[in-house]
Structure 1
C-alpha cells in the first residue's frame, strides 16, 4: 500500500469510528522504546565492540519499528552516531525520563481544543533516531504514526526544548490528515501546500502555548526568528511565482533547514505563520485545516501579495 492510500486510510478511520462510537479505542500512550534502549546502552558500555553489542541488544529486536520509521541502523551509521550520542546521553536520558509528564499535559490541552482528534489512529513511538529526526510522520501498518527521536530533540533543540510546542505542532499535522488530508497526503505537494500545512501547524502551536517565544514556536530556529521586515517582504515576493511548483529545489529553498541560498533557511515556516495568524485571527483553530484547498490557494496568494508590498 503506498503513502497516498495509507494517508487516505488514516483520514477515513476516525470517521468510521465516529459513526460507531461503541468501537472507538481508548487513546493509548506513547510506545516508549527508551527504557529498553537505556538498559541495552548501560549494559554494553564495557563491550569490546559496542556497535555490535548495541545492535544485538536493542536495534535488532526493534528492527520492525525502525523500518517503519524509515531508518536503517547499520553498523556504519551506529559507529558515527555513538560517540556524539555519548556526549549528550545524560541530557537525552533526563528528557526521556520526563517525557511522560510533558505528553500528559499535551494530550489534555490538545484534546480539549480538538475533541474530534482520534489519537488511537496516530500512535507515537519514542526512540533514539540516530539524529535522523526530532519528529517524523511516516505511514505504517495502515496508520499515520509519529516517530519521535528523543536524541534528535536534544541535538537540534537542546535539553530544555519546549516539548509542548513541539508536540502540538506534530499532533496538528496528524489532525489535519484526519479532517482534510489532500495536502498532507500529497506525495509531492506544491509549495503552497507546504506553506499552508507548516504555517497552520506553527500557528496552532503558538496559539496553544501563548507563553512560548517566537524562537520556540519556530522550533528553535534562532536566525529565522530574527529576520527583519525587509526579509519578510522578500520571502513573500519570492514565494508568489513558485506557489504551484512541485520541484524539489523550490521546496528545499523555503522549507529545508539545509538551504544555503540568499533567503533564510525554512523561511516558508515564518511566512506561513504570519499568514496563518492573519487568517486564524477570526477562526477557531479546528476550522483552519478544514478550509477547502482551492480557497487556501487563493488566500495564500492574496496574503503573500500584501506582505510583499509591505
Structure 2
C-alpha cells in the first residue's frame, strides 16, 4: 500500500531535528506539517486545493504528497484521493493529534522493551509518523537502499482504537530488525515467514495481547476462522508456498478472500502457527537470525507437521 511513496520518500530521509524515539532510533513527526498545510488551504476551492496543499507540503516536508512522478490518469486519481482525505481531515484531526502527542513516549517504551530482547537498534534511518492518506498504519520499506519504518497516524486511529500499541510497535520493529538477516522475496513463503514471525514475536513479548493488538482481526477475526478448519488453511498456504501470484499474496496477507471459509489475511495466523512451532526448539533471537536458505525447508516442515497436506 505504500508504493506511491517509495520513489519520493528518500528525499526527506535527512530532514532535521528528529526526536529520540527509542534508545537507538529517532522519530520525525510530519503530522504538524500536514495540519498547517490543511489550515493554509482550507478556504480554497476544490479545483485549486490539492495543488496548493502539495506545494505547501513540498516546502515543509519535501518529497511528501507529490504526483509529479505519476502518469496523467494516475495523477488525477491521486489528487481526487488527496482531496477526499482533506475533506475528511476535520473528523480525523483530534485523533491524529492525540497519536502525535503520545507517540514518542509510547514508541520509546516499546522500543526499550524490544531492545532488551534483541539488542540496541543502531544504524537505522529515523522513524516517520505521518498522515498516510488512508494507506497504512505501519510498515517497513526499502528507500535509498535502507529499510525505513513508517507509521500512519490516521490509520493507527482507525485500526487500533483503544488498543495497547506496544504489540503493534513490536511487530513493526521486528520487521525493521529482521530485514538485516532475512531478505524479502516474491514467493508466498517469504511473506508467510516474515509476517508470521512478527506476530509470534509480538505475542511472545506481550503474552496478554489481544488478537486485535496482534493484528489478527482485520478485516474480520482470523484465529477462530482458521482454527475451525486448520487443515484447510495450512494446506492452502503449503500449496502456495512458491507462488508469486498477486492474488495469492492478497488472499493470505491483504483483503482478498481465497474461499468463503478462509478469512482475508489468514497467512498472518498460519505463519504465526509455524513460527510458534519452531519456537518450541529455538529462541526468538535464533529465529530472527535464520536466513532465507535456512527458513524455506524449516517452514515447510513445520507447516506439514501442523496438517496432513498433499505432497
Fold shared per TM-score above 0.5: yes
Give the equivalent residue in structure 2 for 1:132.
135
Aligned-partner Cα distance in 2 for 1:225–1:280: 19
Q: Normalised by the size of structure 1, how large is the TM-score? A: 0.79
CA distance in structure 2 between the aligned counterparts of 1:88 and 1:158, rounded to whole angstroms? 14
| Higher strand residue share | 2
Cα distance in structure 1, aligned partners of 2:78 and 2:190:
34
Whether 1:276 and 2:275 are equivalent positions in the alignment is yes
**Post-superposition shift, 1:106?**
1.4
Q: Contact 1:218–1:225 at 8 Å: present in 2 too?
A: no
User: For 1:141 and 1:66, how far apart are their aligned partners in 2?
Assistant: 18
Aligned mates of 2:230, 2:289 — CA distance in 1:
27
C-alpha contact 2:125 2:147 (8 A) present in aligned 1: yes
Q: What is the match of residue 209 of structure 2?
A: 212
Equivalent position to 2:109, from 79, 95, 105: 105
Equivalent position SS for 2:136: coil
Shift of 1:28: 4.0
249 and 297 in structure 1: CA distance in 2 versus 1, 3 angstrom threshold: same
Whole-angstrom CA distance in 2 between matches of 1:203 and 1:153: 21
SS of aligned partner of 1:272: helix
What is the rounded CA distance, in whole Å, between the counterparts of 1:205 and 1:195 in structure 2?
Answer: 15
Distance 1:97 1:260, change over 3 A: farther
How far apart are 1:301 and its partner, in Å? Answer: 2.0
Residue 203 of structure 1 is matched in structure 2 by: 200
Answering whether residue 120 of structure 2 is matched by residue 121 of structure 1, we say no
The equivalent residue for 1:31 is 28
- Tell me the residue number matched to 2:55: 56
Residue 177 (structure 1) aligned with residue 167 (structure 2)? no
- Deviations along 1:49-73, one digit per CA (max 9) or x if unpaired, are 5434433332554242557xx9989
CA spacing shift, 1:304–1:287, aligned 2, 3 Å: same
C-alpha contact (below 8 Å) 1:137/1:145 kept by paired residues: yes
Q: Alpha-carbon deviation of 1:181?
A: 2.9
Question: 1:265 is paired with a residue of what secondary structure?
Answer: coil
Distance in 2 (CA, whole Å) between partners of 1:80 and 1:128 is 13
Secondary structure in structure 2 of the residue aligned to 1:105: helix
Question: Which residue of 1 is the match for residue 10 of structure 2?
Answer: none
Cα shift at 1:152: 1.9
Aligned-pair CA distance for 1:200: 0.5
- Cα–Cα, structure 1 residues 258 and 59, in superposed 2: closer, same or farther, change >3 Å? farther
Aligned to 1:93: 97
Distance 1:117 1:143, change over 3 A: same
Distance 1:293 1:28 in 2: 26
* TM-score calculated relative to the size of structure 2: 0.79
Structure 2 residue runs of 5 or longer lacking an equivalent are 1-22
Q: What whole-Å deviation, never above 9, does each CA across 1:64-87 have from its counterpart, x for those lacking one?
A: 2557xx998943221122233332
Contact 1:91 1:159 in 2 (8 A): no
Aligned residue in 2 for 1:4: none
**1:133, distance to aligned residue in structure 2 (A):** 1.4
Q: CA deviation at 1:218?
A: 2.4
The one-character-per-residue Cα deviations of 1:214-251 (angstroms, maximum 9, x if unpaired) are: 23212542421332533322111112222122222222
Partner SS, residue 94 of structure 1:
helix
Compute the RMSD of aligned alpha carbons. 2.8
CA distance in 2, matches of 1:92, 1:260: 34
Task: Report the alpha carbon displacement of residue 102 of structure 1 after superposing the two structures with TM.
Answer: 0.7
Greater helix content: 1
> 1:128 Cα shift?
0.7
Offset, 1:27? 3.1
Instruction: State how far apart, in whole Å, the 1-side matches of 2:160 and 2:229 are.
Output: 27
Distance 1:228 1:147 in 2: 30
Cα distance, 1:43 vs structure 2: 4.2
Report what 1:302 is aligned to. 301
